[in-house]
């Protein structure tokens, strides 16, 4: 019986994290970015220009799918393409000023929602949540 309770608790925990992640993402929904589009903007902001192949590997999607994602972001003026400095067959993808602005605005919306939600907790709940956050991060870093 104890094993079944543990399994149910594990499932409920996973569902709670998923629901929280969706709610945080929804806070930035006005930017209408898919999960992959958001991930591309974050990666480019953090690590600089990439090729489509690099982005596809990093996000574990097919290059054709990443090509479509990049094309959609480029069409919206969020990304630009420049020739690769050493390989004339490839292009480097990078953020445009508009892409930087949209990424920062979406990030700020997510952070604002989360900060406001946390403010509604009492001091004990906040402390517990922040301690749990460190444990969740350790879990997320497991291979």
Number of H helices, E strands in the chain: 6, 2
Rounded CA separation 27/132 (Å): 22
What mean pLDDT do residues 65-83 have? 95
Average pLDDT for the chain: 91
pTM exceeding 0.85: no
pLDDT beyond 90 at 131: yes
At residue 102, the pLDDT reads 92
Tens digit of pLDDT for each residue in 85-117? 888 788 999 999 999 999 999 889 989 999 999
- Total domains in the chain come to 1
The domain of 124 spans 2-140
Element (H, E) at 75: helix 63-75
CATH of the domain at 74: 1.10.10.10
The CA radius of gyration of the chain, in Å to the nearest whole number, is 19
At residue 106, the pLDDT reads 87
Of 87 and 71, the one with more pLDDT: 71
Rounded CA separation 54/69 (Å): 13
Rounded CA separation 4/9 (Å): 9
């Amino acid at each position: 019986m104890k094993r079944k309770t543990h399994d149910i608790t594990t499932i409920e925990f996973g569902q709670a994290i998923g629901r929280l992640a969706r709610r945080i993402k929804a806070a930035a929904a006005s930017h209408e970015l898919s999960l992959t589009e958001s991930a591309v903007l974050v990666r480019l902001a953090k690590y600089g220009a990439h090729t489509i192949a690099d982005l596809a590997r990093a996000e574990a999607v097919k290059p054709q799918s990443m090509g479509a994602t990049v094309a959609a972001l480029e069409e919206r003026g969020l990304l630009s393409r420049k020739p690769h400095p050493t390989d004339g067959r490839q292009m480097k993808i990078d953020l445009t000023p508009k892409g930087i602005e949209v990424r920062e605005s979406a990030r700020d919306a997510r952070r604002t929602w989360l900060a406001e939600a946390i403010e509604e907790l009492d001091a004990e709940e906040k402390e517990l949540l922040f301690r749990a956050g460190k444990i969740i991060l350790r879990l997320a870093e497991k291979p």
